Structure 1
Amino acid sequence: MYHDEEQPLSGGNVSAGVVRVGDTVRRPVGPWTPAVHALLAHLHEVGFRAAPRPLGIDDQGREVLTFMPGQVVWPDRFWALEPARRLARVARLIRDYHEAVRDFTPPPDARWQVLMPAESGDIIAHQDLAPWNLVVGDEDQWAFIDWDTAGPGSRLWDVAYAMHGFIPLSAHPDWRRRDAAERLRVFADAYGLDEAERRRLVPLLGRRTRAMHDFLRDQAARGNQPWATLWAEGHGDAWRSDAEYIERREDRWVRALLDG
């Protein structure tokens, strides 16, 4: 039973047991919670405000985080208004996070919820920078939520995943954009990728997307939830189609990122 003052929060794939209490969010804890709290505390200490601040554990054993006001932008057509400006702001926000986390030293006993190992690691990456985890309030209140799967990764690993969701790089007719290449350039320019990073990014776009298909396939084979349900609902097919769409257009992405 929820207490009267508790408001269940929905959204995402693993939101069971997540509630709002006043200006806080209460969530079930896991072995990774102390490491995630150390990460979020570091971000707050260095002035990065686009993430919840950890407030400890409540008397029911749940983690307590500050509530980030606003609306999750997915699945609304958030980008219809001034899309390039908003896309650039997302890219800069991600770059700000990567700068803020650069000097973070994880606790020596840190345990992370690694759902999908990254190809390389130079930071603690968010691992799920996507529209469904972006909360938009007023002009000064944009924040990324759902940090439970943060873990070792790379800046480009985060960027490739974010580009898939925010541009989006999608084969689905409802989401496919004719200006995807131009939006890719907007994102890369706003983030500040140099030429070498852009060259490494292009093949990573397809691999990062295909890795989501492979993850869902493997988790479904083991019967692990909620991934097995997502696989049964066709999410794996969607990730595979997106990966094929991205891979077939690598030359287009190269031209967009490096020409001109």
Structure 2
Amino acid sequence: MNLILLFEDDFVAPARARLNDRRYRHIRAVQQPREGDTLKVGLLNGATGHARVLRVDDLCIELETCLDQPPPAALPLTLVMALPRPKMLKRTLETIAAMGVKKLCLIHSYRVDKSYWSSPLLAEDAIREHLLLGLEQAGDTLLPEVSLHKRFKPFAEDELPSIATNTRALVAHPYEAAGCPVATLEPTTLAIGPEGGFIRYEVEKLQQAGLTPIHVGSRILRVETAVPVLLARLFPPL
């Protein structure tokens, strides 16, 4: 935990927060602060800064906060991703949050098992939990927006064209594709397929929506590996 994320209901007075949950247990066990020590904190969807430890005991920790810094810059990206296996979804949510993605569209695909859509990991609270872990890792506060799209064709035909308009619109596809473009900070729409990739019909639909197929080499990568590789190639360090 490189940043302690605070929520509005943690505050018992202006600039004074009290924690007694997972964050408190982590601080007590790992950071082991004493009264007067400072910790790095941030308000969810707000500023970052530091907090001075006012009190720490067996029940809670109280912090005096100073939130005076902006969070890290976000990637100018809408990530469109075929729903991965539940185990992989957890890691991927944490990765995209840590890397600065702020808009994620999870979509269906021919090679996505329909049972994945029944996973409890798609519950709003479960998605939020893993996004928060990613933010804590990266020292960020801005929670990504995640939307679910269970039907590929309506999304590709009715929603994706407007998402991709006026962006660098790309689909990661290892076959019949151009090399990955150079890193820039221009607004980007990026689609990443499931294990095994998008089928030809889906690639054609994505192209009709304005997306251009690209690749990052001849190696076939798992989704959890492809996501950070592609983001690192498409955007300069922020």
TM-score, length basis structure 2: 0.29
TM-score, length basis structure 1: 0.28
- Which of the pair is proportionally richer in strand? 2
